[in-house]
Amino acid sequence: DAGVIQSPRHEVTEMGQEVTLRCKPISGHDYLFWYRQTMMRGLELLIYFNNNVPIDDSGMPEDRFSAKMPNASFSTLKIQPSEPRDSAVYFCASSQPGLAGASLYNEQFFGPGTRLTVL
């Protein structure tokens, strides 16, 4: 497997524009996570899905952020409209259930990240 795939790797946009980040999880993984990393706040969880269903979106900063997972092999994180404070590295990760069933804290496999710059 190629691992978690994210696109684009770099995105530069202007304030007010819509930004869409994409993620393809590892095949067979039931959990998908979106994270944001900044110097100020570190690495923080935005939202996670289990079997394509959003379970916890309490980390999504505001209504400008939305995430979808239309099928098991694809997810998007959208920011509309974007603002300079959204500049960060966005990571997608996936994991599979543990032997005992659902396990949120099983090993996660991270993608390479998308570096977003909003001017």
Partner 1 sequence: LAKTTQPISMDSYEGQEVNITCSHNNIATNDYITWYQQFPSQGPRFIIQGYKTKVTNEVASLFIPADRKSSTLSLPRVSLSDTAVYYCLVGPPNSNSGYALNFGKGTSLLVTP
Given the rule CB under 8 A, which residues bind partner 1? 4, 33, 35, 42-45, 48, 55-56, 58-59, 91, 93, 98, 100-113
Q: How far is the CB of 74 from partner 1 (least distance, A)?
A: 18
Secondary structure class of 25 (helix, strand, coil): coil
* 3-state DSSP percent of the chain in helix, strand and coil, to 5: 5, 55, 45
Measured from the CB atom, the residue of 9 and 17 that comes closer to partner 1 is: 9
Measured from the CB atom, the residue of 84 and 98 that comes closer to partner 1 is: 98
- Is the separation of the CB atoms in 114 and 90 below 8 Å? yes
Measured from the CB atom, the residue of 2 and 100 that comes closer to partner 1 is: 100
- Is the separation of the CB atoms in 47 and 67 below 8 Å? yes
Q: How far is the CB of 6 from partner 1 (least distance, A)?
A: 9
Q: How far is the CB of 52 from partner 1 (least distance, A)?
A: 15
Q: How far is the CB of 97 from partner 1 (least distance, A)?
A: 10
β-strands 74-79, 19-24 pairing: antiparallel
Residue 45's nearest CA partner among 98, 95, 101, 119 is 95
